[in-house]
C-alpha cells in the first residue's frame, strides 16, 4: 500500500491499475477494503473501521485517491467536490496529433447495460480542460500526451470526451481504438489532487506522476 499522506482525518494513497475503488460484488481487490484492513491493523482497532470513499477511479486507472477517516471529514470533502473546489488532474495518452489547449464540453448518457457512455442531449453535462504536452509515434500510431483538469466527474468522462472528438485513448478499444494493449498499461492516470483539509482548511496538494512518453 503506497501511502502519500495520513493524519487523523484523511488518508491519501496511490491506487494501482487493476484494483477497484470499492467492492462490486466480485472477488476482485478493492481499495476501500484494503485500506480498512490497513487502518485496522496499524491502529489495532477492534470491530469495523470507518473509512469514507470520497471519489472513485476506474479499475484500470491509476493515481492519487483521498479517503476520509471520519464522517465529518467525508461530508466536508464531498461538499468540496460538489462545489468544484476539490481539483482533480489527469494525464492521458490519446491517439492522433493534438496541439495547444482547449475546453471540451458535451452531454453524455450512461448505458448501464453496456457500462459505457454515449453523447446524448438527454445526458449529463460534462466538461474538462486539456493541454497537449508531448507527442510520439507508437507502433506507427501518432499519440499525444495530454494534461487534463477534470471539471465534472461523469462516468468514463475523459475516455468518451476524447473519443467524441476522434482521439480515443491509446488502447481504449471500448471507445474506438484499434490497438489492443494490456489493461495494466492503460494510459490514464489521476496524477494530482488539490483540496482544502476538512478540519484545518489548509490547502493541500498531492502529486504522483508516472505516465510519460
Contacts of residue 107, Cβ cutoff 8 Å, sequence gap at least 6: 119, 120, 121, 122, 123, 124, 125, 126
| Spatial contact of 170 and 181, defined as CB atoms under 8 Å apart | yes
What is the C-alpha separation between 145 and 213, in angstroms, rounded? 7
Question: Per the structure block, which three cell numbers stand in for 155?
Answer: 462516468
Pick the catalytic residue from 7, 24, 30, 58: 58
To the query of whether residue 58 is one of the catalytic residues in this protein, the response is yes
- Residue 147 sits at the vertex; the CA angle it makes with 132 and 183, to the nearest 5 degrees, is 110
- Residue 74's CB: how many other CB atoms inside 10 A? 20
Active site residues: 58
Amino acid at each position: 500500500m503506497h501511502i502519500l499522506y495520513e493524519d487523523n482525518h484523511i488518508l491519501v494513497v496511490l491506487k494501482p491499475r487493476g484494483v477497484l475503488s470499492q467492492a462490486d460484488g466480485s472477488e476482485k481487490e478493492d481499495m476501500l477494503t484494503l485500506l480498512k484492513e490497513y487502518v485496522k491493523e496499524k491502529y489495532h482497532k477492534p470491530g469495523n473501521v470507518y473509512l469514507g470513499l470520497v471519489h472513485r477511479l476506474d479499475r484500470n486507472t491509476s493515481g492519487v485517491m483521498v479517503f476520509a477517516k471520519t464522517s465529518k471529514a467525508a461530508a466536508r470533502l464531498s461538499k468540496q467536490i460538489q462545489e468544484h473546489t476539490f481539483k482533480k488532474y489527469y494525464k492521458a495518452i490519446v491517439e492522433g496529433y493534438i496541439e495547444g489547449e482547449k475546453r471540451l464540453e458535451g452531454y453524455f448518457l450512461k448505458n448501464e447495460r453496456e457500462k459505457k457512455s454515449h453523447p446524448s442531449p438527454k445526458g449529463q453535462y460534462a466538461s474538462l480542460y486539456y493541454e497537449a504536452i508531448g507527442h510520439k509515434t507508437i507502433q506507427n500510431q501518432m499519440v499525444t500526451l495530454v494534461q487534463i483538469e477534470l471539471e465534472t466527474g461523469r462516468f468514463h468522462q475523459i475516455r468518451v470526451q476524447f473519443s467524441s472528438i476522434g482521439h480515443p485513448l491509446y488502447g481504449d478499444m471500448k471507445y474506438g481504438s484499434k490497438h489492443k494493449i494490456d489493461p495494466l498499461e492503460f494510459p490514464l492516470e489521476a496524477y494530482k489532487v488539490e483540496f482544502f483539509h476538512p478540519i484545518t482548511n489548509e490547502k493541500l496538494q498531492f502529486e504522483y506522476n508516472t505516465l510519460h512518453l
